[in-house]
Structure 1
Amino acid sequence: MCPKSRTHIFEKIANDADLPEAMRTSAKARLEAEKEAIKVIKANAGLEGKLAPSTGNGEFKFRIYSMGNWMPDKTVKYEGKDEPYPGEPHPPPGILVQDSAGFVVRDEDGNVMQDVAREKCVTGLRATYDLYKQLGRKSLDDNGGEIVASIHLPSIDIGAYWWVDQMFFGDGGVTGRGELMPGVAPSDDLTTWLCAYDLDTIGHELTHGVISKTADLTQKEIQADTLNESIADCFGMLVKMWAMKLKVEDSDWDISPGWWAESTVKAKGWTKNYCRTFRKAADHEGDPESKKMSEWKVPINDDPHTNCGIPNHAFYTAACEFGGYAWEHVGRYWYAALTDAEFKRPEKQNFKGFAELTCRHAGAISGPDAEAIVRKAWATVEVL
C-alpha cells in the first residue's frame, strides 16, 4: 500500500508557533520527506507487475517496502519515547520498492533507484528462504507464502525485528549490549548502520516467523522465551554459513558482528565488535554470556537473550564435533526438533525438552553416533 498524504497535518504543526520547536522541526522534516516520497509514487504508478522478473527462483516470493520518514501522524507527539508506534498493532509497511514479480522502484527519469538496504534485504530474504528450502521447508509458513519486509523504519532506536507477520529494518539501533549508538548517522554503504541488514540478523528475525508457525514458544516461561531467541540465533548463523558456503571451522560463530560505535567498544574495553557469540567466554574478552547452566543469570526484565548462550553453545559444540557444513547435520536435527509436534506441548518447551528432541532426531536421521555427539554437547552445557 502507499501511505496517504498528510501534508496538511505536517504544515499545521510546522507553522504552529505555540508548539515546541522540536515538534515543529520534526514536522518540517517529515513534510520534506513526504514531498520526495510523492515523487517516487508518481514515477512508479502502474509499474507493479509489468517488468520482467529480476529476482526469485519461481518459488521465492517477496515484497519489500520502504518506510523512509513515513510515520503514523500521532507519533509526532511521541517523539523520543521508547515505543515508536504506541498503541499500533504494527507499523504500516510503507512504499513498495521491489517484489519478486519484477517490480523495482525507479526515479522520475526511469532509472532504478539504488538502495544498499533494499539490495541487502533481498539477499537476506533469499538466503533464508533457500536455507529453509534445503531443510525441506517451503518458505516461512511451509506453504510457499510471500515474505514481506519494510526497510528504513524511521526510528533511531530500532535495529531489525519480526512483528506479527513481517520483517522490519531500522536505520539505527541499540547494540546487543543494550546501549544506544552514540549519535551515528547512517552512511550510504551501511558501514555505520549497525547490523540490521546482516545475513545472520535477517535469518534470526525471519526464523521468529518460522517459530510462530511451528512451536510458537509464546508462553511466559523464561526458558521457552530463551529457546525462542536461541533457535533464531542458530538458524541466523546457518543462514550466514549457507549463503557464504562456510564450513564449521571457517565461520566466525558471532551473531551480527556488523559495525559497532568505536567509542562504545573502547569505553567497554571490548577487543572485538560483536553481539553474541556461540563460542566460550574465553574466546571473547568481556563476553558476559552464560555458556552452561551453572552460569545461569537472572534476566533483567525477563530478557530472553541473557541465557541463550547456553543452548547456542550446545549447538556450536555439536557442530564442531561433526565439522563440515552445519546445515547438513545440526541444522537438520535442530529443525526436526523445532517442527516436532511434541515440541508444541508447553511442558516440552524448555532446555531439557528441546535437547532431548534434538538427540532423538539426530539418532533417527544419522544414527547412534550422531545422537551421542549431540547428547554430549548438551551435557557440556549441563542441560543433559
Structure 2
Amino acid sequence: MEWERDETVPEHVWEEFSKANMVIPCLPAPLPVAILKKLGINDILGHPIDDWDAFHNCIYNDEMLRSGLAGPPGSLTTGMAFGVPPIIKFGNQQLQDRFLPDLLTGKKRICIAITEPEAGSDVANITTTAVKSEDGKKYIINGTKKWITNGIWSEYAAMAVRTGGSGPGGLSMVVVPLKGHKGVNMRRLKVQGQISAGTTFIELDDVEVPVENLIGEEGKGMSYIMTKYVHVIWIQDDYSLPKCSFNHERLTIAISSTRQARVALSAAFKYCLMREAFSKTLMDQPVVRHRLSKCGALLESQWAWVEQFVYQMSKLSKAEADVELGGLTAAAKANAGIVLMECAQCAVLLFGGNGYTRSGQGEIAESASSQVYLLATNVC
C-alpha cells in the first residue's frame, strides 16, 4: 500500500524479482522453453520450466494480487506480459537474438504501445506513422501513444505503427527505443487505479528506428495485436474477418479481479466482526450477514468458473482451447468485473466512512472500488 501511495515501486524490487526469474511466469503457458534454456533459465523457484502449465499461471496471478492492489504487480509484469510475446511469436531470429536476452533476464524493460489519444479500442485507425528513410535503412516514427502501462520505465516498446494505407492492412509492429532515445518524450499520467504501474503518455518526434526492428512483416500488425501470443484462425485471407481468442489475457484479468474481490470482502468481514454499533457487532446484524453471504456466493461461483477454464486450458490443445473457450473466457472476464464491483461496493458500505478514505483500515475497500472503473474500461 505504501508503494501505491508513493505511486511507484522501488527499483530494487524489479531487480530482485527479475533476478529470481519471477517476471517470466506472466508469459502464457507453455513457456518458451528453448529460448529460456538458451539463456540458462531452467526453472522458476525450483520448478522446471518444461512443466509450467495453466495452473501455474493461475497460482502466479492469484498470488500477485494477494495484496488486493493491482498497481505494484502491474508495474512488474504488464510490460513483459504484452511487450515480449509479439517478439517471441512473430519476430525473426535476429530480432529475438538482439532483444530477448536482456528482456527475459530483466536487464532491460519493455512495454506494449498501441493505444492513442484518438484511437483506443479503435486500433485499426491509429495514426502514428513509420515512414522509411530515403536509403531504406530506418523508419522515421511520428505520433503519440497514451495510457501505456510501464512506459516510463521501459527501454523499449513493442509499438503499433502505420507503415501503409488506412485501415488494419496498413498497420505494423516495431520495437521502438524509448528511454533516452532522441525524439522520444515521456511523462506519467495520473490515473484512478493502478497508480504505481506507471501509466505513460509518449510523444514521438522524428524518432529513427532501424528497419531490422520490424516485428514480423509489414502490414500484419493488426493480426499480431489481436493474437497477443495466442493462435488466430483466419476465415479467408481477410483482415476484417479474424476469428481469434485472448484466453490468457482474459483469464489473467479474471483471476486477478476475483482475488481483489476476495481481499476486499475479507477485509469487510474482519471489520464487521470487530466494529460495534447499537450495542452489538455489525456481524450480529442480519442485514450485514445477508450482504456478506450474497457477495460470498458470487465470489465462490466466479472462482469455480475460473478454475474450470484453467483446467480445460491445461487439458485441451492450444488450438482447441482458442476456439472452444474464447467466448466463454470473455464472459468470465466480464463477470469478474461484476463480482469485483459487488464485493467492493459491499466492502465500502460496511466500512462506512472508513471505506471512503484513502488511509486507515478501510483503505483497501476504497482501492478496490477505484479499481472497478479501470477494469470496466479494460472490459470495454
What TM-score, normalized by structure 2, do the two folds share? 0.25
More strand by share: 2
With normalisation by structure 1, the TM-score equals 0.25
More helix by share: 2
